């Protein structure tokens, strides 16, 4: 998108609804411009009538008028800024809501391809600069333009010859600001990039603080942190320097113009072509015009920053899901819960070269029967987890079809599909909330009795009841205050509460002690009873009773059957089993 396209988009999507408030702020800007011009104009009669003619009648009136003009300027500016602050915060909220809504709805692929710290930087730093463009820039553009027009009118009224000399400063300031604007746009982009990298690093550091201590990498991380902070500091320093670079340029130009004006005014006063009162009124108007000229000259810097931020924010808002959904999609109707993979092919994009995808699943055909347990066995990276992810449409297959009770999941409403599926993984995902709310996440309308029952059936109530705050216990970020087995039992309780007919288990009993594993196995037995269950497990002892086992190797199904059949017919499976027995 061009810069104009971005500005049109921001107006249409975010500022148009606040147009009445913006127009009111602009109307108040007229009052600011008028009162500022009045201040400069009043110096003419003040000097002429009071100081030169010594007119006693105006000695009270003019000071009162000057105070009134200053008060009107201050009040109008305050109200205008207050209105635009309200508008900018509304716009900030709207942009952030749109970003978060789209990120929540986004495909897993989008989230996986970018560090969460960078999204946070987009959501905070970039949105801040974008809203500054919408609020501050709009107000300053109109306020300072109108003020400059008013002051120029006073200047031309007092003396048009001096005014022509004074306005030379405006194009010169604009040329200097244009050059600075290009520079600030580049530096601003770099600063935002490093701010995103810093956010990403901080998240990694907090998430892995135990790892840092175990491997005694405190000094290493301190040096890494210093590099990130140094780069952010350096980019921020450069940006600040570019911003203040306008000051010496503007001050020098103003000094030159004032020097020329004083010289030329002196000539005019000596020749009686200009009165002293006119000169001071003109000089006051010109000095007051300095601020709006400088503001307008550097306005493009804020515009460039805002547009650069919009280029990073809008693509996130515009990101569309790659999961195919059609208007004619129907709700999934489950009878037996039979799942079938028909010649499925799937590949993850190769990050280094998007034109060379890395094949993951190749012509996979599977049958998983309702009310039975189907197991997937294979080396890490063979494609087992990918098969599980295709069922709830975390990803879509590139070729082939997946049916549930002869209904293609690709012609089914995603919401109704996922409503029938529960997922329990070794990587238990919990919120920094209470135990009760984490379990209830599966069904927000569940009664306390249902939540307590789910916890009991998952053996989670055993440890919950021992906690001081019981179900109201805050468990910390991703359940940091709980053990692995405790987190796993809460995850199973959540799945039990959902009461779905299809259960996906991915290494749900890995890395647990024997006693905890036994409890979790009992909880899983209840969870999966009479349910369509697909399970991945490295420990073959947990899947020996599966109705069917598929052996996956390099994205292919290389063997299938019961445990006994595979021991006879599959060297790969037999090798898996014998290695675990020897261990």
Average pLDDT by stretches of 10, the chain with 583 residues: 82 87 90 88 78 74 87 91 88 87 78 75 82 79 85 83 77 65 66 76 75 76 83 78 70 78 83 80 79 74 80 84 76 88 80 48 89 86 86 87 91 88 82 88 88 89 88 84 84 89 78 69 84 82 80 87 87 80 52
d(CA 199, CA 176): 34
Structure tokens at 4: 């104009």
What is the spatial order of strands in the sheet that 358-368 belongs to?
358-368, 339-348, 399-404, 407-408
- Residue partners of 416: CB distance under 8 A and separation at least 6: 331, 332
DSSP string of 502-559? EEEEESTTTT--HHHHHHHHHHHHHHHTTSEEEEE-S-GGGTTT-SEEEEEETTEEEE
Structure tokens at 190: 């770099």
Three-state DSSP class for residue 427: coil
HEC states along 298-358? CHHHHHHHHHHHHHHHHHHHHCCCCCCCCCCCECCCCCCCCEEEEEEEEEECCCCCCCCCE
Three-state DSSP class for residue 579: helix
Domains belonging to the chain, first-starting first, are 3-318 (1.20.1560.10), 324-420+502-511+535-583 (3.40.50.300)
Contact 530, 371 (CB under 8 A): yes
d(CA 538, CA 508): 10
Residue 4 burial class via C-beta count within 10 angstroms: exposed 0-12, middle 13-18, buried 19 and up: exposed
- pTM assigned to the model: 0.72
Dihedral angle sign, alpha carbons of residues 132, 137, 139, 143: positive
pLDDT confidence of residue 383: 84
The number of angstroms, rounded, from the C-alpha of 180 to the middle of its chain's C-alpha atoms is 29
d(CA 397, CA 141): 52
Residue 503 burial class via C-beta count within 10 angstroms: exposed 0-12, middle 13-18, buried 19 and up: buried
pLDDT confidence of residue 354: 45
Three-state DSSP class for residue 403: strand
* Partners of 553 in the β-ladder: 556
């Amino acid at each position: 998108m061009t810069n104009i396209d971005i500005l049109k988009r921001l107006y249409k999507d975010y500022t148009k609804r606040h147009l009445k408030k913006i127009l009111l702020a602009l109307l108040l800007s007229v009052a600011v411009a008028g009162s500022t011009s009045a201040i400069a104009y009043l110096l003419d009669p003040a000097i002429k009538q009071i100081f030169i003619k010594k007119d006693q009648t105006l000695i009270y009136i003019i000071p009162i008028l000057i105070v009134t003009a200053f008060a009107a300027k201050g009040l109008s500016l305050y109200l205008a800024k207050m209105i635009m602050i309200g508008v900018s915060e509304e716009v900030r909220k709207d942009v952030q809501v749109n970003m978060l809504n789209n990120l929540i709805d986004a495909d897993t692929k989008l989230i996986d391809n970018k560090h969460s710290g960078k999204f946070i930087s987009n959501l905070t730093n970039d949105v801040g600069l974008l809203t500054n463009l919408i609020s501050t820039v709009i107000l300053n553009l109109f306020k300072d333009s109108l003020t400059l027009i008013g002051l120029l009118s006073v200047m031309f009224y007092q003396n048009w010859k001096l005014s022509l000399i004074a306005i030379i400063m405006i194009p010169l300031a604009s040329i200097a600001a244009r050059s600075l604007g290009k520079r600030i746009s580049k530096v601003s982009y770099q600063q935002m990039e490093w701010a995103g990298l810093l956010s990403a690093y901080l998240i990694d550091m907090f998430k892995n603080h135990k790892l840092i201590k175990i491997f005694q990498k405190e000094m290493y991380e301190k040096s890494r942190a210093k590099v990130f902070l140094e780069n952010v500091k350096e980019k921020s320093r450069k940006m600040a320097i570019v911003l203040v670079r306008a000051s010496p340029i503007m001050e020098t130009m103003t000094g030159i113009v004032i020097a020329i004006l004083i010289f030329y005014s002196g000539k005019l006063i000596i020749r009686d072509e200009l009165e002293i009162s006119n000169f001071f009124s003109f000089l006051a108007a010109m000095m007051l015009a300095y601020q709006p000229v400088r503001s307008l000259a550097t306005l493009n810097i804020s515009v460039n920053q805002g547009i650069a931020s919009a280029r990073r924010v809008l693509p996130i808002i515009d990101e569309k899901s790659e999961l195919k959904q059609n208007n004619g999609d129907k709700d999934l109707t489950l009878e037996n819960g039979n799942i079938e993979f028909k010649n499925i092919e799937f590949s993850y994009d190769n990050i280094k070269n998007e034109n060379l995808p890395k094949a993951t699943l190749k012509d996979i055909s599977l049958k998983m029967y309702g009310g039975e347990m189907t197991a997937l066995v294979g080396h890490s990276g063979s494609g087992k987890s990918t098969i599980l992810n295709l069922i709830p449409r975390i990803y879509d297959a590139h070729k082939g079809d997946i049916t549930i009770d002869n209904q293609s999941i690709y012609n089914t409403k995603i919401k109704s599909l996922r409503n029938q599926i529960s997922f329990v993984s070794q990587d238990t995902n919990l919120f920094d909330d209470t135990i009760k709310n984490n379990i209830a996440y599966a069904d927000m309308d569940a009664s306390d009795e249902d939540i307590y029952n789910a916890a009991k059936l998952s053996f989670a109530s055993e440890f919950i009841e021992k906690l001081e705050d019981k179900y109201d216990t805050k468990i910390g970020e991703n359940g940091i205050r709980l053990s692995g087995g405790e987190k796993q039992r809460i995850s199973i309780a959540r799945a039990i509460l959902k009461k779905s007919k299809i259960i996906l288990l991915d290494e749900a009993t890995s890395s647990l002690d024997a006693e905890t594993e036994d409890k979790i196995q009992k909880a899983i037995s209840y969870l999966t009873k009479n349910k369509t269950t697909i399970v991945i497990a490295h420990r073959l002892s947990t899947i020996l009773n599966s109705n069917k086992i598929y052996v996956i190797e390099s994205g292919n199904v290389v063997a299938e059957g019961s445990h006994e059949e595979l021991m006879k017919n599959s060297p790969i499976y037999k090798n898996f089993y014998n290695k675990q027995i020897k261990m």
